[in-house]
Structure 1
């Protein structure tokens, strides 16, 4: 299997309204989703999402949290009024979901099977948000969006990854072997932030935007008492076969290489855990405190204490994971797979640069590239880390607008290593991946938009002309519904009734 598995990224975007810092972000987020949906002839309604199979309070440790004690933010399966703009929701023809998640517009990518595809459809999400902002700018004052994870004033919002795993893998093993990796992974994948602490009160610069907001090692929550390992057990697939690992500890990446490594290295470590091939237990003493200490040290010299007494830097710890993965790939022969080889090549390249001179990774790693720009401002204007100008630059870095976002302007100038051509990202705005069930979801929305009553990751609810009852099409196997499996059926069907008949005959 190598690096390939079903995966995806959910990104909540920061939001603001010019001249109105106290505007209701939920209302603003609803306007973002609605503006994009209306431009593409889709009604952004809460009821367009099928919540029947969602179970956000089910815990991978073997129990379910009671609704009476759950924080309201955890009740993601509750319906609201279709007329409430703060609950706007739309499923896109590329198989993605665009909706209001609490106080932010969120783009949840379609299911993909490779890190490169994950990166492509995540970049498509940036283009979706750019279009929404552009359309809203016609009615000033305009709403703007930021691909970041904190407003610098104490609030954090997530970039979550999802990986499909074998249900047979003991969850305790996942916790044991994945926690050290997540503690250290930020040195490759952190997006950088001005300020230390949840409210950025302490002057300084740190590697990751999210690290200061984590409080515990393992838990179900995502918006409070954030855990390094999230235990939500909501597979969106055949439950006795699959587990969906919901990762909430990552940053929103702009750099292609960092984004590829975030998905790719994690998938490879998961493969190592699934195969019971972890040969070196790297358990960290005091994981939460260590996570934050690493983030606060851009020199990468902080020493991690392992439970067995060893002391390693974050880069050295990641090298150990790399070496175990490399040995496993040699045994299986999967290291020659193109997508796996690409991740391994960049993993070694980035670790080598971070080890020799962190600043040499400025073209590949977000936090390094941002730090280089901030240091240039510091040197030119004599700015200290607590200067408001640096915090403003930090925010401007993640502005989604091509002509305003600092990262976007530097990328256009060739300052960063690009892996995904612009035309591929633009195609992914409307076209779904072809090798997962996202293809069936997206093509149905393209071919028969008036007949799709609701959708979810694992179902479609269709209205068939002349049939009184709605038809629910289950999609519990993420690797079914691909172009190879249903592409001709979708192309040949003149209406949704013909499609359903063809699907029944194909079974």
Structure 2
């Protein structure tokens, strides 16, 4: 069995709100970045990309990670970095006698119906045909919301996922014009003869660290199985977009999913098939024992058991939608039992506010009412230090030295360029390589 060692990364877009318009609030948020870098689109010393996306959405894309805990620490570091910028923005607003708070919302929809994303990136081998892979993977992807959805309050009730209603195709090369579940644009950010990048558009932004671990870890395991040729049943779907919306509205997982061969199967049963295969795969997997993946598979099974029994008490500290449902159900009872009550929508939004002084989830975390996957110390280190086992380490060293010396540089995911006379450029085609003599030479040139 052969499968590609996995490199992963997360791109998170944040909603923004304040006393001023979103555009003006974003200007205050990025004022220190513009002052230092003369840009709102930069790579920072922890090797992540920080930028202001279309629609005044701050976005953080993590550096390349090859361990689950490493990825979670760097994803959470993005929250910490933006929160620090928001603190600085609020001080500037106060000094200029404008006042007001800056709110950063890590969710996927606003009250005007706009959607912004959390995109997952997985390195896969070039020999895998992405469209074929996508057909095999879609059944997992449309039902994955049962284990890692963020939950959403709407007038029609409680939905498992925020993104389910925001995708319009199963597999496509588009990202914004027609949001697909899986994006097939061939942009490997590496050696194109060896690698592809699978770009997943459909996932919710997660607040709970165990939910993020389950989202990414379960997907990694399914990709490994498919790449290694593990035997999985034919679950090609007849109507993935229609089904994903129905599944979001049925927290029992009993939604019947139509297969292309004419049969039907429930959403929960699809997840149970993939989970059972993952249990076997961990026994057969040609790699060292991985305690994190074992923890993922255990949480996966426990979450499916909770869905089947409709007893969510065993996952109400770990899974986003279960945490939110438990919290909001108690408020709903006090408000007369109506999901359409505007107070519930407001609480839903506050759940995703990453600011410690304003967000419900940060409050739950501070009080020890939710479980963790990584420590505060790991997150703090990830705000300034790149992942050390991948190409990100080279980018991080390069950017750190440039900041220390004032050297003018240009950086993207693959290239490191020292500008000016006597400079030079290095192309980093291997995302697994954390050591490169050519980069060392550029560092020496900076002094």
Q: Deviations over 1:353-399 (max 9, x none)?
A: 22223522211111111111111101123251111111111111111
Counterpart mapping for 1:82-481 below 5 A:
88-103=40-55, 104-138=57-91, 139=93, 140-195=99-154, 202-334=155-287, 336-360=289-313, 361-449=315-403, 450-463=406-419, 468=421, 470-481=423-434
CA contact (8 A) 1:120 1:428 kept: yes
**Equivalent residue, structure 2, for 1:59:** none
Alpha-carbon distance, 1:311 to partner: 3.4
1:67 aligns to what? Answer: none
CA contact (8 A) 1:99 1:107 kept: yes
Rounded to whole Å, the distance in 1 between the matches of 2:443 and 2:139 is 52
The reply to whether residue 32 of structure 1 matches residue 29 of structure 2 is yes
After superposition, the Cα gap between the structure-2 partners of 1:295 and 1:358, relative to the gap in structure 1 and judged at 3 Å, is farther
> Is the Cα–Cα contact under 8 Å of residues 44 and 90 in structure 1 kept in the other structure?
no
Which moves more between the two structures, 301-310 or 157-166? Answer: 301-310
Q: CA deviation at 1:444?
A: 1.5
Change (3 A) 1:194 1:3: farther
Whole-angstrom CA distance in 2 between matches of 1:326 and 1:442: 36
User: In 1, distance between residues paired with 2:316 and 2:408?
Assistant: 45
Contact 1:150/1:209 (8 A) holds in 2: yes
Match of 2:168, SS? Answer: strand
TM-score (norm 1): 0.81
Cα offset, 1:32, TM superposition: 2.1
Deviation at 1:498, TM superposition (A): 7.3
Deviations 1:191-244 (A, max 9, x none): 01111xxxxxx4311011111111122212222321122111111101111100
Over 3 Å counting, the alpha-carbon distance change for 1:446 and 1:286 in structure 2 is same
Q: Is the 8 A contact 1:451 1:462 kept in 2?
A: yes
Structure 1 residues 186 and 494, CA gap change in structure 2 (3 angstroms): closer
Query: Which digits, 9 at most, give the CA deviation of each residue in 1:159-209, with x for residues without a partner?
Result: 0000111011112321111111110001111101111xxxxxx43110111
Q: C-alpha separation between the residues in 2 aligned to 1:409 and 1:193?
A: 19
Task: State which drifts further: 173-182 or 222-231.
Answer: 222-231
Matched, 1:7 2:8: yes
Counterpart-to-counterpart distance in 2, 1:163 and 1:122: 15
Cα drift, residue 342 of structure 1: 2.6
Runs of 4+ in structure 1 over 6 Å off: none
Structure 2 unmatched ranges of 5 or more: 94-98
For the 8 Å contact 1:180–1:287, the answer to whether it is kept is yes
Using the TM superposition, give the Cα deviation of residue 426 of structure 1 relative to its aligned residue in structure 2, in angstroms. 0.9
Question: Partner of 2:445 in structure 1?
Answer: 497
C-alpha contact (below 8 Å) 1:444/1:452 kept by paired residues: no
Q: Secondary structure at the match of 1:336?
A: coil
Instruction: Provide, for residues 86-115 of structure 1, a one-character-per-residue CA deviation record: whole Å limited to 9, x for no partner.
Output: xx1121111001001112110010100022
Larger deviation, residues 421-430 vs 273-282: 273-282
Alpha-carbon offset, residue 331 of structure 1: 2.7
Residues 183 and 151 of structure 1: CA distance in aligned 2, closer, same or farther (over 3 Å): same
Q: Residue 137 of structure 1 aligns to a residue in which SS? A: helix
Match of 1:43 among 37, 43, 47: 37
RMSD: 2.3
CA distance in 1, matches of 2:7, 2:108: 24
SS at match of 2:236: coil
1:254 to partner: Cα distance: 0.7
Counterpart-to-counterpart distance in 2, 1:179 and 1:311? 15
How many residues of Structure 1 are paired with residues of Structure 2 in the alignment?
A: 436
Distance of aligned partners of 1:29 and 1:4 in 2 relative to their CA distance in 1, 3 Å threshold = farther
Deviation at 1:26, TM superposition (A): 4.4
Q: Secondary structure at the match of 1:16?
A: strand
> Residues 274 and 333 of structure 1: is their aligned pair in 2 closer, same or farther, counting only changes over 3 Å?
closer
Give the Cα–Cα distance (whole angstroms) in 1 for the partners of residues 60 and 387 of structure 2. 16
Relative to the length of structure 2, the TM-score reads 0.91
Alpha-carbon deviation of 1:472?
1.2
